[in-house]
Structure 1
Amino acid sequence: MPDRLMAAIREALTDAAGWEFDHPTDRTALEAALREAGIDQYVALPYAHKSGMAAELNDWLLKEAKSSRMCLPFATVHPADDVHAVVEAAFKNGARGLKFQCPVQEVAPDDPRLDPAYELCVEYDRPVLHHAGTAPMFGDSPHVGIERFRQFREQFPEVRACCAHMGTFEHEAFLDIARADENVYLDTSFAMATVVDRHVEFDPAVIDDGVFEELAGRIMYGSDFPNMPHAYEREFEGLIQRNLSETAFEALFRGAAEQFLGEV
């Protein structure tokens, strides 16, 4: 994200959770760190916390991505914007999908103001990623939770949708909806880090190896890099140590993401 916005996000996270951040935010340094960790490509996930900023933010990110061999840019929109216009412009300019940080943007997955965005996802064959779970500090938010996500799925079953952070703290319910809905995905970001219990009450061990085998192709590796208060390796080291089949490993670290992103 642009420097001022990234600094504001980090300041808000530090104030809310006491987290400190050592990872670089400059794109060149950020991508060098990811390459060192063995990453070929990454998805950039913007979000707009107020109306009137999404179009400019999308344009900035799409321009950055054009000069990068690694960056796969998503776009965002605020529910008070001209949702159809902002999203269509982003898709036409190369955005690979949409991101909604539901509690921060104060918009639930099933908010009818987002219907034009989902309709465009169907038209352009683009996926959407929601922070729809209650972790790490959103248990009282009316904009998250399994019921709001379930209502969205009932309205737009054809849209490929990922719930970030394994749906924590309602991971069991989100796993169940993924089992029943082939267009629902989950990502491992933060929730499966080996140090997650330092920051929130969650143990990655409650999701056993069988889940990754059963849902191979719809659970994908992810991280909150660079906005996470721990070393990057903590995100994947526990996953690598799991006793998974070659098929499940390939799906986790590549195949599921390719399927989620689709052909563009």
Structure 2
Amino acid sequence: MALSGADSASPDGRGAAGVVRFWERLGLPGLVDVHTHFMPERVLAKVWEYFDSAGPLVGMKWPVIYRHEEEQRIALLREFGVRAFTSMVYPHKAGMARWLNGWAAEFARRTPDCLHTATFYPEPDVEAYVREAVDAGARVFKSHVQVGGYDPGDPLLDPVWGLLAEAGVPVVAHCGSGPAPGKHTGPEPIGRLLARHPRLRLVVAHMGMPEYADFLTLAERFTEVRLDTTMVFTDFTERLSPFPRAQLPRLADLGERILLGTDFPNIPYGYVHQLDALERLGLGDDWLRAVCHGNGARLFGLPVV
């Protein structure tokens, strides 16, 4: 399903033309986006309602511009040239995660360019359903410490972290304190977790916004820690939680462990703006190639050009 007309070539950056020009200029076959959201329609509707109401974990006006039906959202990512993406699902209470995992497994089955995604919550059966998801082929997990309101060091989760570390399955974790702090957000709880599970392939969502420097330190200390770019460096985020320019050399040095993430479709600007924001950092084309394709491809065993 190709999108056409105003949407495909929209001057406000919502369409595909600028995205394709970006990766073609770099000589890439497309993009690998490790942080996109697909979830059951009634759950996504609730998420959008929360953004519309500027809920307390958002705390600001947040217009979702890619508010399309699921089929159209998938088609748009493909038109952008996103070769692999995720269905970041996450529970906000007990009893949701196993159901979300079932939905995500079916979504991955019918959407082969989506990396099979799963999630978890600290509850008595968490180890069992995480093991089931891993055995079923889950390739990435989502942990949302802010929305879930749980301590990543919860004893119920300790066997889960160990299982995922042993299996080498990455976990994308929203553990920074942006856009609004949670009870267990920030670098300290994650630092304690990594000290117990140093082999855990943890991907820090949003680069740990706003505690950027602290999460860069964790990535320097633990070789399996990565950071995704989701919403960071964009005009929207720079007004609220600007990335300190003094940290750019560290970002360059960690170039092999920075991954493209966007938060599509839940973003208040065109997809291409995330890419433009990365380019204007001035870290070079090799860095951009690694971040936008190579690093993600290697992490998930995809072809690397």
TM-score (norm 1): 0.91
Aligned counterpart, 2:211: 170
2: CA distance between counterparts of 1:101 and 1:90?
17
- CA-to-aligned-CA distance 1:97-143 (integer Å, 9 cap, x gap): 221110111112222221121122133221111111000012xx221
Instruction: Report how many aligned residue pairs link the two structures.
Output: 259
Match of 1:243 among 259, 282, 299: 282
1: CA distance between counterparts of 2:233 and 2:78?
21
Unmatched tracts of structure 1, length 5 or more:
none
1: CA distance between counterparts of 2:231 and 2:212?
13
Aligned counterpart, 1:136: 179
- Shifted more, 144-153 versus 112-121: the winner is 112-121
Aligned counterpart, 2:47: 9
Q: Which has the higher contact order (CA 8 A, sep 6+)?
A: 2
Tell me the SS of whatever aligns to 1:144.
coil
Match of 1:160 among 182, 198, 201: 201
Identity %: 32
Cα shift at 1:210: 2.6
Aligned counterpart, 1:258: 297
Aligned counterpart, 1:26: 69
Cα shift at 1:203: 2.2
- Shifted more, 60-69 versus 252-261: the winner is 252-261
Q: How does 1:177-256 map to 2 (within 5 A)?
A: 177-198=218-239, 201-204=240-243, 206=245, 209-256=248-295
Match of 1:88 among 131, 134, 142: 131
Cα shift at 1:25: 4.9
Aligned counterpart, 2:15: none
- CA-to-aligned-CA distance 1:161-200 (integer Å, 9 cap, x gap): 01110111110111111112111111110122233235xx
2: CA distance between counterparts of 1:259 and 1:157?
20
- Shifted more, 31-40 versus 186-195: the winner is 31-40
Find the structure with the greater CA-based Rg.
2
Unmatched tracts of structure 2, length 5 or more:
1-38
Question: Any conservation in 2 of the 1:187–1:220 contact (CA below 8 Å)?
Answer: yes
Cα shift at 1:24: 3.6
Tell me the SS of whatever aligns to 1:104.
helix
TM-score (norm 2): 0.79
Question: Any conservation in 1 of the 2:124–2:156 contact (CA below 8 Å)?
Answer: no
Aligned counterpart, 1:53: 96
- Shifted more, 61-70 versus 149-158: the winner is 61-70
Counterpart AA for 1:14: D
Tell me the SS of whatever aligns to 1:195.
helix
